Each structure stands twice: as C-alpha cells, then as structure tokens.
Structure 1
C-alpha cells in the first residue's frame, strides 16, 4: 500500500512539474505585441497634436508641387543652384521635431521631380567635398573624371523657414488643441529677395498624452 501511494505521489509531482514547465516555457515565449508597419502618409495607431509622419509627407509634397510650378525656379534657361537644408529652418513651436526630416524629404523628392530643372548644392557635405579637393590638389589622389574647378559651387537660392504653434488646453476634459504653422521661403542669395513662399497650416485636438522624441 505504501509503495502504491508513493508511486501515485511521484506521478502526481511529475505531472505537476510538466505542467509548470510548459507554462513557464509558454510565458517565456511571450514577447509583447509584434511590430506593425503603418502607412507613413496616414494617421497611425499612436497620434497626438504634434507634427507627425503624415504631416511631413503632406507638407513636403505640397511645397514640392508649388516650387515646380514657379517659373522663377524651374523656367530658367540655366537651371538655378539651390540649397535646401535645415540650417535656416527654425522650430519656434511647442512641437518636438527634427527639421532635417522636412528639408531632407523636400530636397530629395524635389531633386527627383525637377529632372534637371534645378541643381541642388549639398552645402551640408562641403567638408567632405573640400577634403577630397585638397587630396586631389596635393597629388595624394588623381583628379578623378570630373574637371577641376576654382572653388566649390555657389548657390543662387537657399531655403529658409519657421515652425510656429499656438496651444489651447481645456482643463475640464484634458483636451489639447494645437494650431501649427510652417512657412517655407526661397531667398535670392545675392539680393536677399524672396522669390517663392509656401505655407502649411493645421490644427489638431486630442486628449494628448503622446510623447514626441
């Protein structure tokens, strides 16, 4: 009888150990929700009142189309040299955003669509260019396949802009509203005149607890 009870106890403990082991293994495999790809031109699962991917896509597409329709930029017999970077893109708003996302996307998409009607100067790469120029002129490397020039390319126009915002909060409901205004302006680098201007504005409201980084 004792042996029989001992055998039953041992079997019961072994079965319990297997169940616990299975549960532990199952819990170890749980890694949380899998990543989900979202369309960058639409509102995602996480959204607030700040500038988000769909806003970046919409505003840069609008500015690109507007620039391409401007004869002072695309109707010249000699394509103008243009600088588009974030050097003079100021963020004075309460939105946290890397302004490179605006200028990089605008420059790249515009360069593709302009098809030679504009020439883009990579002033943000000037250090890289100067190092290579110095190596060529010192004889450390050959001259490459492109003719040498007296200096790096100068630009005719450069993009500047500003991001501004106006916030309002309903303390009773915790709802936040933000009006955002983003301006883009192309400046003549000899005269200082503005040859093209673009404006993008939006207002969003939400019970905002989204953190932008």
Structure 2
C-alpha cells in the first residue's frame, strides 16, 4: 500500500506554484484530499453548497451508494476553498462544481492523476523517498488513514471518516501499522531480527518473532 509520509505531502504541495487560478485550484484540491481522505470522485463531485467555510469548517461528501457524510476540515483548508469558490462568477452558484477545468467543466479522475504525477515529480528532489513509490491519488486517502491510526484514532472513527461500508475495510490499515512497528523494532534490535547464519533462530529471536506474531 503506497501512501504519502507528511514530509512527502509537504514537498508535493510546495512544488505547486500558486500564482495562477489553476495552480491555486490544484493546491486546494490536494490539500483537501489529504485533509479529508476522501475518494477522488467524492472530491470532484463537491459543489459550492457542500462546503462550510465558517466554523465549524466541514465538507459534505457523497460516498458510495449515495451515502452522505460530513467531514471536518482545517481552517486553512476552508480558507483555500473559500478563495477557490470566489475565483470566478461561475462558481458562485451553489450548485456549481468546486473543481473545474479551464473550460468550466468538472475535473476528471484522469486529470487529477495527471496533475498529481506532475507535482510528485516536481517535489521529489525535496523528498527523494517518493522516487521509490508508485504514488497515485488514492495514496493520499491511504496517507490520511495511516496518519490517523498512528495518531491513536480508533478504527470506528477512521471508518466513519473515510466512509467505509464496514469496519473490516478499515482493518486493512492495521497491517500497515503492524509493518511500521516491525520496522521500528528491527531498527532497535537489528541483531536479534537478523537472518540466522546456520538456518536456526536463536532463543532470543524466537521469543521476538513469537511476540511479533501476537501483535
């Protein structure tokens, strides 16, 4: 599962030149995706009336099966969306789509993938770890889930946040968290977890591996 680390998100966003309307749109788009963990289509379907830019800041997302959920957003994200909605007279209409192309039509999933690929490439010199990953728009959703999990947020809350139909879907991120713990343990006890030379595990290694399996 490829996901963005915080420094990688920062490098990607900082690679976006915000001096034009289209670039400001791109910045707001990816900042919102990381903030909410929303699916690409959920973000593209957002209309001006779905965004609350006054406290409490939030967006109304339409998920799979037409299910509606409210997702909180940071004040900074709200300010970006407010600026985006006021860029042109066309987007002032409540039913207007928030993220549009230069012709006023709704952005497509293909367009979002193209833009992210461009900005990841531009941000890679500042975060070289992105070079080793196959990052795509859904990677931002994964990043939100992993960061919430690492922050100690419970699975039920994360499931509601992401709009999962069942808690089982959310539990896939438990494996990611387990892998992170294993990597951290390997850094602390590298000699214990190292491959045995003679094909046999030492008693200490057996204890550690058994403990890992029970995590």
Q: Same fold (TM over 0.5)?
A: no
Point out the structure with max Rg over C-alpha.
1
In the superposition, the TM-score normalised over structure 1's length comes to 0.22
Between 1 and 2, higher relative CO (CA 8 Å, sep ≥ 6) is seen in 2
Which structure: greater helix fraction? 2
